[in-house]
A and B are shown apart, each in its own frame.
Chain A
Amino acid sequence: MWKATIRSLMGHKLRLILTGIAVILGVGFVTGTLVLSDTLNTTFDTLFKGVNAGIDAQVRSPKSFNEQSDFGGGGASFHQPVPAALVDEVRQIPGVAAAAGSAASETTVLIDTKGKAIQPMGPPTLGFSFQPDPRLTTLKVKEGRRPSGPTEVAIDDYTVKKYGFHLGGPVKVLTNGPVRTYTLVGTIRIGTADSLLGATVTAFDPATAQQAFNLSDRWSTITVKAASGVSDSELRDRISTRLAGRYEAVTGGQLAKENASDVQKNIGFFKTVLLVFAGVSLLVGTFLIVNTFNIIIAQRTRELALLRALGARRRQVMGSVVGEAVMTAVFCSIVGVGFGVLAAIGLKGLLNAFGFKLPAGPLVVKAGSIIAGLIVGFVVTVLSSLLPARRATHVAPLEALRETSVPPVTSTRRRVVAGAAMGVAGVALLLAGLAGGGVSLVGLGALLTFLAVSFLAPLVARPVAGAIGAPIARVFKFPGRMARENATRHPRRTAATAAALMIGLALVTLVTVLSSSAQVSANRAIDHAFTADYIVKTRQFSNFPETLATDLRSLREVEAVAPFAFGQFKIDGATKQMSSVDPREFAKLGNLKAIEGTLPSDKDIALLVDEKTSTDHHWHAGDVLTVEFSKTGKQQLPIKAVYAKNELIGKYLVTESTFRANFTAQGTNVVVARKASGVSDTQARAAVDRVAKTYPSVEVQDQTELKAEQRKQINQFLFIMLALLIFSILIALIGVVNTLVLSIFERTHELGLLRAVGTTRRQTRRMIRWESVIIAVFGTLLGMVVGVFFGWALVTALHDQGITSLVVPFGYLFVFVVIAVIAGMVAAILPARRAARLNVLLAISSE
């Protein structure tokens, strides 16, 4: 029996290779992601151990929620600064040899030699104080010297080299005011590292840093050196006991772990996304494997029946099919793991391309990742073969004697019932998940929906594929008609092949619907909320100095200026996004109207909520709400007004005075301005641009430019998603190739007959090509239907996140169909050539 299995495998090398590619790609994707994440983890551990080496202990405020909206951030731990006076208190604690206040900032932006702000896509822009006492800093001078006094800085070695700064030369830095020019006196290393993952690191004298980072008489943290004979943990415990309840102390080792885990949370998101796409590829691969084994078994029916007739037991027949799967699985999983290691190198390069400067280091290939890859590949392949194998055991010995093989007919009713049940369950889970049930419910729901569609697809395969083929049959006459017949003759096979393609296309359609909807929603929101002439902001909506708004106000070309700050506070323990602006000033140029109460003056301590929030929570003007700020804790805020929906503001608004009193971070996220009447647009814009130029991190936009920027960002998201989905579509196309090759093998006699009675090679190729196109377009249409449904569900669920209009992008969908036609033709190249090269004589000779 094993001999027969091996023969069968080797006899169909092409089939083996095609099925194998699907497994290899899927396993490779999974292994690659795991290897990359191990590599990154090890890299970060080593890096931050180096970075924090030499710190004995750090004193800081207890962890609190981040008052700054961390757009896309991984929720890194956040600590409020400590008062400067605490340093002296710490110095008194026995066991402390030295202590000093340290300042740190994430919004210290360097300006390159061309005057542009250096803001890498991923890594942060950090600023630190450089302690004169070498025992209290992890920074080390590599070249030059430590900065001292108010006009000197040192910059990390990597950034200096990358942007061509010169030791002794001027460097422009943006911190909390207009750009200032410093002298670069040294290049630094952070612990043992030349670069902190590509972040720009600027170091100042402590007093300079404190002033530049707007800390006034506070420090971000206090760095402590232990007296000799006192261990780090002992030191930590002593400080903690002394400052119990008010402040906390951690050792350098703990700090390294925290840093690493913060970064890993960021990368963790990336890892999850990659694993999801790897999973999609595997799912498509599963469809492909099931389909291939099904076809093979249909073709081997006579052989299997003969084996049965000669006395092979069912178990042996099953074993022969599963055996083939096991051998494919073992081979392809091993190759796939190898491919995955290569993929990890590629993905690491991709991260570098996004601006993360990963320290050089060997790839960390853990046994766990390899084993996981092998197991996934093995289990998926073997499980996929079980269903077809079970079918093989039902081949009756008598079928060996039958002239033509009749495809097994399963009851249509059972198929409908099973498919419909799965569909209902899938859609229910999906909607429940989107309504707040969680991502795993959504995933499970989507999976069930895919299965349901692939179950029901054979029922519509004949009419739909027939309809797709109708114009082809009309235009391409005989080959077109035959292609149509062939695509509809095995509805199950066509449907299964198309279903694999459906998965990728559904996801492609989903992200396209989502991004188109987001785009239209964004445009609408801009039209509605942005009635000012200019908006000034950084690309990431990050902080910039408040002085920009002051500078703008001094322009006579501008008559209203409203600076916005965004932040977070908590209501009943739940974190909420809020905005701060002068309500009356903003009302002059923006769409802010009080529905209840009156807009408060900026001097008032006041909260405003939008209409929907008011209705949802029964909050009205005159109520007093308890909210919690990161800096000041619980505060009573009077609701002074309820305003009509405004997309720029969001649900909660506080006056600027309220913001100043309760936030550590000052600065501005957005400034909107209106030009003075009687001033030309060009004049006003030139004036605004002139001011903005002194703050290189910001850009000035009018409504059209803002829309264009939104469009660009959304398209970027779209293209990244499409790039990740290409894998699964490639695997599905391999499935089309596989089905065609197997079908051609099955139709050898028929093709031979057609060639004998006068079908040219060219017509034969056309026939196969159009059959492939019909299958590809069928899969694409199925995917689009599912994708549009997913898109609808997701857009509905995201209504509160600002995606308010559902847009089905027919233009894109049309392009996808065109691409499907081309992809179908490409997939048909090899099978068509095989069919055309068929030896006519062999094909028509019986057996």
Chain B
Amino acid sequence: MTAPSITTTAARAVELVKVYGHGETAVRALDRVSIEFPSGQFNAIMGPSGSGKSTLMHCLAGLDSVTSGQVFIGETDITKLNDNQLTLLRRDKVGFIFQAYNLVPTLTAIENITLPMAIAGRAPDQAWVDQIVDTVGLRDRLHHRPSELSGGQQQRVAAARALASRPDIIYADEPTGNLDSKASAEILEFLADSVRGLGQTIVMVTHDPNAASYSQRVVFLEDGRAVDEMLDPTADRVLDRMKAMGA
């Protein structure tokens, strides 16, 4: 595959601050976080509960507003966009995999996979969709509704949907949080493959060192600050680092 020859940035945060509440009760969830996610890389964000990792992801994805600082997806400063522009940006440039509630229950698997294109009123790239479907191994489940799929299958559909619209970046929020270890491994393998083979960019929030070990780079968050990062992590090294943080 054509890995980008010059490393570009898929997303970055500059001096990102997020404060919840006012005055006495204000909580500084993100404290001047500056971070870059290069294209074609599988990134993991880790940290103990309350470290701000989910908030960071939400801000990076345009799902939550920021208090100050900037967030870029490609060259677009998304903090300057209104709700409608943000929605269109999420639709066209961003893929999502959540921990739960990933699928629309009234739509079949294939309809869920092509959902962003349907919303945009565009015809999906059939060859590309076929390739993804085969990769996630859902060929024989395409016309089933989510309620007829196992948890792992549902997450694979979600992953396929995230890839189907060829987004600039995919955000995954605890994608394996509800899965057993075998299903987890399948999803993570698939995500890693999509980065290696298809040049996809992924930012995954997780608290599971084993999940993090599938990534190429782990960013550690503590008290709303990016405190450390680790390249080519293994589960053990990540676990040790987390223990050091007192998690």
A477-B121, A758-B87, A760-B88 known; A841-B96 Cβ under 8 A? no
> Is B63 touching A840 in the complex (CB atoms < 8 A)?
yes
CB-CB contacts of A751-771 with B at 8 A, as 1s and 0s? 011111111111100000000
The listed residue (A754, A758, A762, A841) touching B104 by CB distance below 8 A is: A754
CA distance A500 to B85 in the complex (A): 41
CA distance A314 to B161 in the complex (A): 44
> Is A753 touching B98 in the complex (CB atoms < 8 A)?
yes
Is A677 at the interface (CB under 8 A from chain B)?
no
> Is A758 touching B90 in the complex (CB atoms < 8 A)?
yes
Is B133 at the interface (CB under 8 A from chain A)?
no
Is B147 at the interface (CB under 8 A from chain A)?
yes
Q: Please, which residues of chain B bring their CB within 8 A of the CB of A758? A: 87-88, 90-92, 116, 119-120
Identify which of B63, B64, B87, B91 gathers the most chain A CB atoms within 10 Å of its CB. B87
CA distance A486 to B103 in the complex (A): 14
Is A749 at the interface (CB under 8 A from chain B)?
yes
B81 to chain A, nearest CB (A): 13
CA distance A486 to B120 in the complex (A): 19
CA distance A513 to B105 in the complex (A): 42
A348 to chain B, nearest CB (A): 52
Q: Which residue of B lies closest to A845 (CB)?
A: B54
Q: Which residue of B lies closest to A748 (CB)?
A: B101
> Is A760 touching B84 in the complex (CB atoms < 8 A)?
yes
Is B118 at the interface (CB under 8 A from chain A)?
yes
Q: Which residues between 736 and 783 of chain A lie within 8 Å of chain B, taking CB atoms?
A: 749-750, 752-763
> Is A761 touching B119 in the complex (CB atoms < 8 A)?
no
Q: Please, which residues of chain B bring their CB within 8 A of the CB of A799? A: none
> Is A485 touching B107 in the complex (CB atoms < 8 A)?
yes
> Is B100 touching A757 in the complex (CB atoms < 8 A)?
no
CB-CB contacts of B50-84 with A at 8 A, as 1s and 0s? 00000000100001100000000000000000011
CA distance A482 to B121 in the complex (A): 13
> Is A757 touching B88 in the complex (CB atoms < 8 A)?
no
The listed residue (B64, B90, B115) touching A841 by CB distance below 8 A is: B64
A717 to chain B, nearest CB (A): 45
CA distance A610 to B65 in the complex (A): 86
Is B106 at the interface (CB under 8 A from chain A)?
yes
Is B234 at the interface (CB under 8 A from chain A)?
no
> Is A759 touching B87 in the complex (CB atoms < 8 A)?
yes
Q: Please, which residues of chain A bring their CB within 8 A of the CB of B63? A: 756, 840-841, 844
Q: Which residue of A lies closest to B107 (CB)?
A: A485
**What band does the interface of chain B fall in when counting residues whose beta carbon is under 8 Å from A?**
20 to 34
Is A411 at the interface (CB under 8 A from chain B)?
no
Q: Please, which residues of chain B bring their CB within 8 A of the CB of A755? A: 87
> Is A753 touching B102 in the complex (CB atoms < 8 A)?
yes
A758-B87, A758-B119, A760-B87 known; A844-B92 Cβ under 8 A? no
Is A410 at the interface (CB under 8 A from chain B)?
no
Is B99 at the interface (CB under 8 A from chain A)?
yes
> Is B116 touching A753 in the complex (CB atoms < 8 A)?
no
CA distance A759 to B117 in the complex (A): 10
Is A554 at the interface (CB under 8 A from chain B)?
no
CA distance A482 to B90 in the complex (A): 19
CA distance A288 to B55 in the complex (A): 42
CA distance A755 to B99 in the complex (A): 16
Q: Please, which residues of chain B bring their CB within 8 A of the CB of A478? A: 118-119, 121
> Is A752 touching B101 in the complex (CB atoms < 8 A)?
yes
Is A481 at the interface (CB under 8 A from chain B)?
yes
Q: Please, which residues of chain A bring their CB within 8 A of the CB of B90? A: 756-758
Q: Which residue of A lies closest to B121 (CB)?
A: A477
> Is A757 touching B105 in the complex (CB atoms < 8 A)?
no
Identify which of B84, B101, B103, B105 gathers the most chain A CB atoms within 10 Å of its CB. B101
Q: Which residue of B lies closest to A751 (CB)?
A: B104
Is A801 at the interface (CB under 8 A from chain B)?
no
Is A489 at the interface (CB under 8 A from chain B)?
yes
Is A682 at the interface (CB under 8 A from chain B)?
no
A478-B119, A486-B106 known; A846-B84 Cβ under 8 A? no
The listed residue (B83, B84, B88, B104) touching A750 by CB distance below 8 A is: B104
B143 to chain A, nearest CB (A): 15
Chain A binding surface SS class: helix
Q: Which residue of A lies closest to B151 (CB)?
A: A403
Is A404 at the interface (CB under 8 A from chain B)?
yes
Identify which of B90, B92, B100, B104 gathers the most chain A CB atoms within 10 Å of its CB. B104
CA distance A40 to B34 in the complex (A): 80
Q: Which residue of A lies closest to B147 (CB)?
A: A404
B59 to chain A, nearest CB (A): 10
> Is B98 touching A763 in the complex (CB atoms < 8 A)?
no
**What band does the interface of chain A fall in when counting residues whose beta carbon is under 8 Å from B?**
20 to 34
Q: Which residue of A lies closest to B104 (CB)?
A: A750
> Is A846 touching B91 in the complex (CB atoms < 8 A)?
no
> Is A761 touching B84 in the complex (CB atoms < 8 A)?
yes
A181 to chain B, nearest CB (A): 79
> Is B96 touching A750 in the complex (CB atoms < 8 A)?
no
CA distance A144 to B114 in the complex (A): 92
CA distance A754 to B111 in the complex (A): 13
Q: Please, which residues of chain A bring their CB within 8 A of the CB of B119? A: 478, 754, 757-759, 763
Identify which of A758, A763, A840, A846 gathers the most chain B CB atoms within 10 Å of its CB. A758
CA distance A679 to B118 in the complex (A): 76
> Is A846 touching B99 in the complex (CB atoms < 8 A)?
yes
B62 to chain A, nearest CB (A): 9
Q: Please, which residues of chain B bring their CB within 8 A of the CB of A749? A: 100-101
CA distance A758 to B87 in the complex (A): 5
Q: Please, which residues of chain A bring their CB within 8 A of the CB of B100? A: 749, 846
> Is A485 touching B106 in the complex (CB atoms < 8 A)?
yes
Q: Please, which residues of chain A bring their CB within 8 A of the CB of B116? A: 757-758
The listed residue (B106, B147, B161) touching A757 by CB distance below 8 A is: B161
B22 to chain A, nearest CB (A): 18
Q: Please, which residues of chain A bring their CB within 8 A of the CB of B103? A: 753
CA distance A840 to B98 in the complex (A): 13
CA distance A750 to B87 in the complex (A): 16
CB-CB contacts of A463-500 with B at 8 A, as 1s and 0s? 00000000000000110011001100100000000000
Q: Which residue of B lies closest to A489 (CB)?
A: B106
CA distance A161 to B88 in the complex (A): 72
A755-B87, A758-B90, A758-B92 known; A481-B118 Cβ under 8 A? yes
A485-B106, A489-B106, A841-B58 known; A757-B115 Cβ under 8 A? yes
CA distance A692 to B120 in the complex (A): 73
> Is B106 touching A756 in the complex (CB atoms < 8 A)?
no
CA distance A782 to B76 in the complex (A): 52
> Is B96 touching A757 in the complex (CB atoms < 8 A)?
yes
The listed residue (A482, A486, A761) touching B83 by CB distance below 8 A is: A761
CA distance A319 to B107 in the complex (A): 38
Q: Which residue of A lies closest to B146 (CB)?
A: A404
> Is A844 touching B118 in the complex (CB atoms < 8 A)?
no
CA distance A486 to B106 in the complex (A): 7
Identify which of A481, A761, A846 gathers the most chain B CB atoms within 10 Å of its CB. A846
Q: Which residues between 524 and 538 of chain A lie within 8 Å of chain B, taking CB atoms?
A: none
Q: Please, which residues of chain B bring their CB within 8 A of the CB of A761? A: 83-84, 87
Q: Please, which residues of chain A bring their CB within 8 A of the CB of B107? A: 485
CA distance A489 to B102 in the complex (A): 18
Q: Please, which residues of chain A bring their CB within 8 A of the CB of B118? A: 477-478, 481
Q: Which residues between 119 and 176 of chain B lie within 8 Å of chain A, taking CB atoms?
A: 119-121, 147, 161
29 CB-based A-B contacts, threshold 8 Å: A404-B147, A478-B118, A478-B121, A481-B118, A482-B104, A485-B106, A486-B106, A489-B106, A749-B100, A750-B104, A753-B98, A753-B101, A753-B103, A755-B87, A756-B63, A756-B90, A757-B90, A757-B115, A757-B119, A758-B120, A759-B87, A759-B119, A761-B83, A761-B84, A763-B119, A840-B63, A841-B64, A844-B63, A846-B101
> Taking beta carbons and an 8 Å cutoff, which residues of A are in contact with B?
404, 477-478, 481-482, 485-486, 489, 749-750, 752-763, 840-841, 844, 846
Name the 10 nearest CB pairs between A and B, nearest first: A758-B91, A485-B106, A749-B101, A760-B87, A846-B100, A478-B118, A758-B90, A758-B119, A478-B119, A759-B119
Q: A478-B118, A846-B100 are in contact. List 11 more A-B contacts (CB 8 A).
A: A481-B118, A485-B106, A489-B106, A750-B101, A753-B101, A753-B104, A754-B104, A757-B115, A757-B116, A758-B91, A759-B91
